[in-house]
Structure 1
Amino acid sequence: MLISSITSTSDQTATASSAAAGLGATSDTFLKLLVTNLQHQDPTKPQDSNEYVQQISQMSMVEQMTKLATTQTNAAKDQTVSSTIALLGKTVSYVGSDGLPATGTVEKVDVSGDAPTVTIAGVSGMDPNRITSIGA
């Protein structure tokens, strides 16, 4: 009986792990890869169940770290929006589009994009980071 080449279990595990990482590493994807790995493992060299538990633990940790990073990013954006909204009605000094210092009142805050922008003295779409000082 001729047997085609058999990939070792550790090679399959490494392939499954790297594939899961490349696919965005969702829990469902990881579990599907794990089941496929179990179905195709060499019956004469079964993989230790502790390795599966470690992989699932690592997957869970990666998922939680990703959620934490997303939460922190959202919190930072919310803080930026709050700080920008607090500028409404304030007189500010800023660097104009021509590179020269200017002064005006913040009339409007637009939070529809990735980062908030302000309208100062009728000039819209300004980056709040261009503000150099805040008056009353």
Structure 2
Amino acid sequence: MSIEAIGSVLNTTDPSALPNAGINEQDFIQLFVNELQFQDPTQPLDNSQFLTQLAQFVSIEQQSEEVGGINNLLTLGSNGQSLDLLSRSVQVTNADGSTTSGKVTAISFTANGVALTVTGSNNAVLPNVQLSQIQLVTP
């Protein structure tokens, strides 16, 4: 029975290194404060507009928390999948495109995700194998 790897679905890059595609919470607060500071005193901000903007701020905060929760669930799922691979025979795709078969002998949890150690039939050890490199799992 083969098990499909979810490693390719997980984003193992550092989120702080990615470019920000939209407005974040700090940007929204800065815009909101600037709008309050520079509003026309003869035409102050309408209460309905103020409440609408406040609701948008709350919505952004909730979406941010939901994304964090989903990321935590993906991490837990990948950790559980990797534990199931311990002592299983796997086929690994190497960086050059070749494949190597062996048994998962160790699992380490790093800041970049899960790293497996695979020991081949000739006792060659492949350290730091990512879940996305696993192509086939057999009992």
TM-score normalised per structure 2: 0.68
Q: Which of residues 68, 82, 85 is equivalent to 2:83?
A: 85
> Aligned partners of 1:97 and 1:57: how far apart in 2?
48
Gap change, CA 1:132 and 1:36, over 3 Å in 2: closer
TM-score normalised per structure 1: 0.70
Counterpart of 2:59, as a letter, is: M
- Bigger Rg, structure 1 or 2: 1
Aligned to 1:68: 66
In percent, how many aligned pairs have the same letter? 21
- Find the residue that maps to 2:111 and give its secondary structure: coil
Deviation of 1:38 (Å): 3.8
- RMSD across aligned C-alpha pairs, in angstroms? 2.4
User: Where do residues 22-41 of structure 1 align in structure 2 (5 Å cutoff)?
Assistant: 24-26=24-26, 30=29, 34=32, 37-41=35-39
Structure number with the higher strand fraction is: 2
**What 5-or-longer segments of structure 2 have no aligned partner?**
1-21, 120-124
| Correspondence 1:130 to 2:128 | no
Aligned to 2:116: 118
> Aligned partners of 1:39 and 1:94: how far apart in 2?
59
**What 5-or-longer segments of structure 1 have no aligned partner?**
1-20
Aligned to 1:52: 50
Deviation of 1:113 (Å): 2.4
Gap change, CA 1:95 and 1:38, over 3 Å in 2: closer
> Aligned partners of 1:40 and 1:103: how far apart in 2?
66
